[in-house]
Amino acid sequence: MLPDRTFFNRLADAAKAETLPRFRKGIDVANKIAGGFDPVTEGDQAAEAAIRALIEREFPDHGILGEEHGNIGLDREYVWVIDPIDGTRAFISGVPVWGTLIGLQRNGRAVAGMVDQPFTGERYFADAEGSFYAGPEGARRLATRDCGSLSEAILFTTSPHIFSDSELEKYRAVEGKVRLFRYGVDCYAYALLAAGHVDLVIENNLKPYDVGGLIPVIEQAGGIITTWDGGRPEMGGSIIAAGSRAIHEQALAILAR
């Protein structure tokens, strides 16, 4: 029996039990890199451990790619991709736009995923049956929107500071054509895109666990997510997500120069 939405909910609940009690509680923060700031908290580590324990008990033949506790069995047919707290900077700042990302790949292709925001009580889930929202607004099927052209688009990125000089030039060229741009929403921006509230998300230097849970949610809602050269996004890198093919093509024409 393959994992279904119920099992994804169990995984998200296990993570939530570790993250939510620590949110806005002034917990200790460690830095994972020298010469910069890449924060990690005990919430990240405990949440991933809780997710992995369930997977290893219920699906011991599956592989796991995780941010905090390493990888096992990446050559297996099914591989889970886990980011226990995507947006740790937001988490330690008390801003509720972080989320737990749980993805499932089959033979290297993302086939199911969940974005969970425990503080707002929102879950975005997708599998072969479609993309769905459950939260304060009730339950519904997700669908992206087509705003028609870049001049009508709402664009998100984490920050323009994430881009190198050449990347920043391309990003600014896209930003200069949209109706509205906003910064700093992490994985929540992709959830908003899948729900039809925004039109474009552009980022770079993402790891596989940064996108693994997002890909099915966007694609099954009718959106497109690729690398800047139009390739598959499962391995991360420079990523663009769009609500429609037209917007994707218009933005990609600038980013791929």
Domain ranges in the chain?
5-141, 150-255
Per-residue pLDDT, 32: 55
Q: Which helix (H) or strand (E) holds 84?
A: strand 78-86
Q: Which CATH class is domain 150-255?
A: alpha beta
Which of 153, 102, 115, 109 has its CA nearest to residue 128? 109
pLDDT per residue over 32-52, tens digit each? 555 554 566 788 899 999 999
3-state secondary structure at position 31: strand
* Edge-to-edge strands, sheet with 122-127: 71-72, 63-66, 78-86, 99-106, 109-117, 122-127, 130-135, 138-141
Per-residue pLDDT, 37: 46
197 vs 195: CA distance, rounded Å = 6
* Angle in degrees, 0-180, between the axes of helices 165-175 and 245-255, rounded to the nearest 10: 140
Q: Which CATH class is domain 5-141?
A: alpha beta
Q: Which helix (H) or strand (E) holds 162?
A: none
Tokens in use for 5? 């939405």
Which parts of the chain sit beneath pLDDT 50?
Answer: 37
Q: How far is CA 69 from CA 64, 74, 244, in A?
A: 10, 14, 36
Per-residue pLDDT, 44: 86
Residue 73: CA count within 13 A, CB half-sphere = 18
Per-residue pLDDT, 35: 57
